[in-house]
């Protein structure tokens, strides 16, 4: 039996509405497998939390980088609220131990789990906003997610990875990168793609995503890491 009180102690926030806390960790698959449960899944909370998170991050970046253009701030925000970054944060604070999933989903520790963790983090923010108010959420995000900003800025991870890898490949190797779908799986409403990035005939790296565009971006990011082309 999952004890959500342990998570409350860990983050030092005690919820008034315990059902709201539990709902934030409840994946749709758990409801499908346990239809008699009195708690709904967390997708509405995720919708709310996504908006609250975007406001907190936008406010932080606007004040921290007064000389950045709107375009640069937008790119930096997108990099910071990226599902991979958020899932790393969620994993670090122990959210994975409290997920309510179907038996099938519970066995999957791959890319799908990353998205579940990222969505849960946002749903938890939505629940915390309703239960505790904006200021408490602001402190939570400032402590857990915003420290990632320095790494993103220093490594220029906010730059569009596909544009950057194309620029570097042409500069150093006179190649224009090519992207090829190596694998796709899942039903139409929940596709997962694996895309390879090639310099000529050479496969440099692979990336995964829930769309071809996301998989291409992730493969470009992986190629930048392989080539050590962050400047």
Active-site residue list: 50, 122
Tokens of 119: 């969505």
How far is it, in rounded angstroms, from Cα 33 to Cα 40? 12
Point out which residues pair with 112 in neighbouring strands.
none
How far is it, in rounded angstroms, from Cα 36 to Cα 54? 34
Please say whether the beta carbons of 192 and 213 come within 8 A. Answer: no
How far is it, in rounded angstroms, from Cα 29 to Cα 101? 6
Comparing CA positions, the residue from 159, 138, 139 lying closest to residue 82 is 159
Q: Which residue has the tokens 């999957």?
A: 108
How far is it, in rounded angstroms, from Cα 68 to Cα 159? 13
Point out which residues pair with 198 in neighbouring strands.
178, 203
């Amino acid at each position: 039996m999952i004890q959500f009180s342990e998570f409350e102690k860990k983050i030092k926030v005690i919820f008034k509405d315990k059902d709201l806390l539990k709902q934030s960790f409840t994946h749709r698959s758990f409801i499908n497998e346990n239809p008699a449960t009195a708690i709904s899944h967390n997708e509405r909370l995720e919708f709310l939390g996504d908006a609250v998170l975007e406001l907190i991050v936008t406010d932080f970046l606007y004040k921290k980088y007064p000389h950045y253009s709107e375009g640069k701030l937008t790119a930096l925000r997108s990099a910071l609220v990226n599902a991979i970054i958020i899932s790393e944060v969620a994993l670090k604070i122990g959210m994975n131990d409290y997920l309510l999933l179907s038996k099938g989903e519970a066995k999957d520790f791959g890319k799908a789990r990353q998205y579940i963790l990222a969505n849960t983090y946002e749903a938890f923010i939505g629940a915390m906003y309703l239960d505790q108010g904006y200021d408490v959420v602001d402190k939570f995000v400032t402590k857990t997610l915003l420290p990632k900003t320095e790494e993103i800025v220093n490594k220029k991870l906010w730059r569009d990875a596909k544009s950057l890898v194309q620029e570097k490949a042409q500069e150093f190797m006179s190649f224009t990168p090519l992207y090829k779908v190596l694998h796709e799986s899942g039903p139409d409403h929940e596709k997962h793609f694996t895309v390879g990035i090639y310099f000529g005939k050479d496969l440099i790296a692979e990336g995964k995503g829930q769309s071809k565009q996301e998989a291409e971006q992730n493969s470009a990011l992986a190629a930048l890491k392989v080539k050590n082309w962050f400047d």
